C-alpha cells in the first residue's frame, strides 16, 4: 500500500516540478525583457543613456545609467530600482529564478546601451547594426532589435 501511494505521489509531483521549472524559466526571460524595456524607456524619458550589463558566468545583470555630466558607458552606475529602492542588479538564482541561468549573449561585451532615442548602442556609442540576444539555460531567448531597440521574448 505504501509503495503504491509513493508511486502515485511521484507521478503527480514530477510533472508539477517540471512545470514549475518551465514557469521560472519563462518568468526569468520576461523579467529580463521588462528590465531591458525599462532601460530603453528610461533613456528616452530622461535623455540620459541607460545600459544593461550581463555577467553570464554569474547569471546576473545590472541596469545602469550614464552620468549626465560625463556621458558614456564607463561612467554609468547601477540605478536604484524604483519598486524596491535597492540597486537594480538581478542575480537569477537569488531572485526567485532558481535553476535558471544565463547561457550566453550575442551582445558585444555582454552589454547593450540605449541612447535618448531608445536606439540600442555599443560601448563605443555606435548604434547596433545587428540584432542581439540573451539565451537562458531553458532555451528561452530575449532579443533586442538593431536600430530600434524593440525587445521580444520567446519561450521554448
**Residue 113: band (very low, low, confident or very high) from pLDDT cuts 50, 70, 90:** very high
At 69, the pLDDT band (50, 70, 90 cuts) reads: confident
- The per-residue pLDDT for 12 is 53
Indicate the fold that domain 2-154 takes in CATH: minor pseudopilin epsh fold (3.55.40)
CA 136 to chain centre: 9
pLDDT tens digits for 140-151?
999 999 999 999
Averaged over 58-71, what is the pLDDT? 92
137 vs 10: which has the higher pLDDT: 137
On average, the pLDDT of the chain sits at 87
- Burial code (b: 16+ CB inside 10 Å, e: under 16) for 20-50 equals eeeebbbbbbebbbebbbbbbebbbeeebbb
Domain ranges of the chain: 2-154
Amino acid at each position: 500500500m505504501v509503495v503504491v501511494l509513493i508511486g502515485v505521489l511521484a507521478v503527480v509531483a514530477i510533472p508539477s516540478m517540471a512545470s514549475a521549472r518551465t514557469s521560472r524559466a519563462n518568468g526569468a526571460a520576461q523579467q529580463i525583457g521588462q528590465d531591458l524595456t525599462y532601460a530603453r524607456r528610461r533613456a528616452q524619458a530622461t535623455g540620459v543613456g541607460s545600459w544593461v550589463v550581463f555577467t553570464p558566468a554569474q547569471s546576473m545583470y545590472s541596469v545602469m545609467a550614464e552620468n549626465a555630466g560625463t556621458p558614456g558607458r564607463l561612467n554609468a552606475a547601477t540605478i536604484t530600482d524604483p519598486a524596491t529602492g535597492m540597486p537594480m542588479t538581478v542575480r537569477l538564482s537569488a531572485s526567485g529564478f532558481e535553476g535558471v541561468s544565463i547561457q550566453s549573449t550575442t551582445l558585444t561585451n555582454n552589454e547593450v546601451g540605449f541612447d535618448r532615442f531608445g536606439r540600442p548602442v555599443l560601448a563605443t556609442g555606435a548604434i547596433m547594426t545587428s540584432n542581439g540576444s540573451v539565451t537562458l539555460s531553458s532555451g528561452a531567448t530575449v532579443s533586442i532589435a538593431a536600430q530600434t531597440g524593440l525587445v521580444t521574448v520567446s519561450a521554448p
